[in-house]
């Protein structure tokens, strides 16, 4: 009896061992046949996580790794999609990836992101240097003494100046959208146009008056032969560094000491020693200046405040020979 029980117990043990072996072999077969993927998960904060998983669904992979999306986050590929060939799941901030469709209220037109990007292309900045004209001014000198019959005479023709202007220009789609001036340099000063208004002389006179006028004209012609009158732009200067720069030593270009009420700086066409009658006072050309050209004359005064007070005047200047 005992031997029979012992044989039955041994048979049960064999059956149990067989069942265990069968189960283990089944698990081994499953392990061999199941494919395991290496998946990289890129977080929105820049952190990267690499996991081993037999799953391919994005949502299931994230759940297995206890990763929960925030409200402002999105995942690529989508939660219900399968992982891509690169086996990468990217979690990003929605604000960096999505732009809502813009609606133009007036026209009711909807614009996609691509349309917006095409409309707002890159802005290009360029530096442009342009030469521009400086308009001249017209100066009118009235010497008619209130006469009702007057005539105009152009004493000096106006000439436009030139300046070099530097601009910063912004272009978008090859169209200028903004222009800002950076600097300006005067190349040539303008020359003012000067018009003299004088009284008109009538011819309704007697023969005696005509002969008298003729005689007067001859006298005037004789006087003008020894002197010339021309309207000049007259300014003032002193011997300070603001007026003379590094040459502020009190001496003129001719070697004389600059003297208020006598010395003037004039263009090179007026020789040193030439006497000029300005406002009834006689001055002597003794100095030059880089800016003293054309119709410009500079009168020497004793102080800078006096030079500023003089300003700019257009005066008839008589050149005495």
CATH of the domain at 296: 2.40.40.10
97, 125, 140 - which closes a domain: 97
Domain assignment present for residue 146? The answer is no
Least confident of 126-130, 141-145, 288-292: 141-145
Q: Give the Å distances, CA to CA, from 24 to 21, 32, 54, 130.
A: 5, 12, 20, 90
Question: Quick one: pLDDT at residue 241?
Answer: 84
Check residue 202 and give its pLDDT.
55
Q: Determine the Cα–Cα distance for residues 104 and 115; give it in Å rounded to an integer.
A: 13
Tell me, what's the pLDDT at 238?
A: 92
As a whole number, the mean pLDDT across the chain is 79
DSSP-derived letter for residue 24 is H
Reply yes or no on whether the pLDDT at 228 is more than 60.
Answer: yes
192 located within any domain: no
Final residue before a domain boundary, out of 45, 64, 97: 97
How many distinct structural domains can be found in the chain?
A: 2
Kindly tell me if the per-residue pLDDT of 11 is higher than 90.
no
Q: How far is CA 145 from the centre of its chain?
A: 51
Residue 80 placed within a domain: yes
Section 146-150 average pLDDT: 79
The whole-number average pLDDT for the span 66-72 is: 86
Of 137-141, 142-146, 238-242, give the lowest mean pLDDT range.
142-146
CA neighbor of 53 nearest in space, from 70, 43, 67, 71: 67
List strand residue ranges (DSSP E) for 135-204, in order.
138-142, 150-156, 161-172, 175-188, 193-199
Q: What is the pLDDT of residues 266-284, one digit of tens each?
A: 998 899 999 999 988 999 9
In a domain, 102, yes or no: no
- On the question of pLDDT at 39 being above 70, the answer is yes
**Could you tell me which of 132, 133, 127, 134 has the C-alpha nearest to residue 179?**
127
Q: Which residues contact 300 (CB under 8 A, 6 or more apart)?
A: 236, 237, 238, 239, 258, 259, 260, 262, 263, 264, 265, 287
* Cα 168 from Cα 126, distance rounded (Å): 6
Better pLDDT: 45 or 213: 45
Would residue 305 count as lying in a domain? yes
**Which CATH number is 65's domain given?**
3.10.20
Query: Which residue range(s) make up the domain with 279?
Result: 223-320
Q: What is the pTM of this model?
A: 0.34
pLDDT reading at 157 higher than 80: yes
Q: Is residue 187 situated within a structural domain?
A: no
State the distance between the two ends of the chain, measured CA to CA, in whole angstroms. Answer: 167
| Position 211 pLDDT exceeds 70 | no
Whether pLDDT at 51 is above 80: yes
Q: Is residue 189 part of a domain?
A: no
pLDDT over 50 (residue 56): yes
Q: Which of 82, 97, 112 is the last residue of a domain?
A: 97
């Amino acid at each position: 009896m005992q031997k029979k029980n012992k044989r039955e117990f041994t048979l049960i043990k064999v059956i149990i061992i067989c069942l265990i072996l069968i189960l283990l072999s089944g698990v081994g077969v499953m392990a061999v046949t199941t494919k395991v993927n290496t998946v990289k998960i890129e977080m929105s904060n820049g952190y990267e996580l690499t996991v081993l998983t037999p799953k391919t669904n994005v949502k299931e992979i994230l759940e297995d790794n206890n990763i929960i999306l925030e409200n402002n986050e999105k995942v690529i590929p989508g939660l219900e999609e399968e992982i891509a060939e690169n086996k990468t799941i990217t979690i990003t901030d929605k604000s960096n990836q999505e732009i809502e469709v813009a609606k133009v209220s007036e026209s009711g037109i909807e614009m996609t992101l691509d349309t917006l990007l095409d409309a707002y292309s890159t802005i290009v900045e360029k530096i442009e240097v342009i030469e521009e004209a400086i308009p001249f001014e017209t100066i009118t000198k009235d010497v008619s003494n209130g006469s009702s019959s007057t005539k105009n005479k152009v004493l000096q023709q106006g000439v436009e100046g030139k300046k070099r202007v530097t601009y910063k220009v912004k272009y978008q789609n090859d169209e200028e959208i903004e222009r800002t001036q950076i600097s300006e340099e005067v190349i040539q000063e303008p020359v003012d146009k000067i018009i003299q208004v004088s009284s008109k002389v009538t011819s309704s006179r007697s023969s005696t008056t005509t002969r008298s006028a003729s005689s007067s004209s001859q006298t005037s012609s004789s006087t003008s032969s020894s002197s010339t009158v021309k309207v000049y732009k007259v300014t003032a200067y002193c011997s300070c560094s603001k007026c003379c720069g590094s040459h502020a030593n009190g001496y003129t270009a001719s070697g004389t000491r600059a003297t208020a009420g006598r010395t003037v700086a004039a263009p090179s066409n007026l020789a040193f020693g030439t006497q000029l009658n300005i406002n009834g006072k006689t001055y002597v050309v003794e100095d030059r200046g880089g800016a003293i050209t054309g119709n410009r004359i500079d009168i020497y005064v004793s102080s800078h405040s006096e030079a500023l007070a003089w300003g700019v005047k257009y005066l008839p200047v008589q050149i005495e020979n």
